[in-house]
Amino acid sequence: MTVTYDLYGARFLCLLQAKVHAENSLGVSFEERNSTYQGGSYYIFGNRGAENFILKLNLDPFDEEPVEQDFSGFSVLLYINATTRSSDIERAIRDGGGFELLRHEVF
């Protein structure tokens, strides 16, 4: 079975605005977590080892430069990990607005 890892970015939303936007678009409820490596507070839906969504600031914890260096113009990142329904999710996010698809990789 192939799974897909997609990365979306938001240019003009703060982390909390992006959370509300993504929750409305995807029909999910994110949980707050804290991690130094993830840049402090971030949000997750789902669990490791299965499909999960991670919403975080595009900020490296130590050098404070964008963690996704190829997408430095995006302040917030939304990772759609290990999904088998990439197209449906893309449609939902596109309809909700606010995010752009930055990367799409199939494994």
Partner 1 sequence: MLAGGPAGKAATTTAGRVAKELGEAIFGWVEAKLAGGGAKGATVPKGFSSAEDFARFGLDAREGLVKAGYGNVEPILQGSAVTGQSFKTGQEFDVGRVSDFDIALASPDLLQRAQSLGIGLRSGGTRTGPLSERDLQVLGLDSLASKLSAQAGRDVNFMIYGSATTATGRAPSLVLPK
Interacting residues toward partner 1 by CB under 8 A? 5, 7, 31-41, 44, 47-49, 52, 54, 60-63, 65, 67, 69, 79, 81-82, 105, 107
The residue type at 71? F
- φ and ψ of 26, to 5 deg: -95, -10
CB of 98 to partner 1, least distance (A): 21
Answer for the pair 7, 90: CB distance below 8 angstroms, yes or no: no
Q: Which is nearer to partner 1, 16 or 97 (CB)?
A: 16
Q: What are phi and psi of 86, to 5 degrees?
A: -60, -45
DSSP string, 21-36: HHHHHHT---EEEEET
Q: Which is nearer to partner 1, 28 or 97 (CB)?
A: 28
Considering beta carbons, is residue 34 or 95 the nearer one to partner 1?
Answer: 34
One-letter amino acid at 26 equals: L
Residue 97 or 104: which CB sits closer to partner 1? 104
At its nearest, how many Å lie between partner 1 and the CB of residue 36?
4
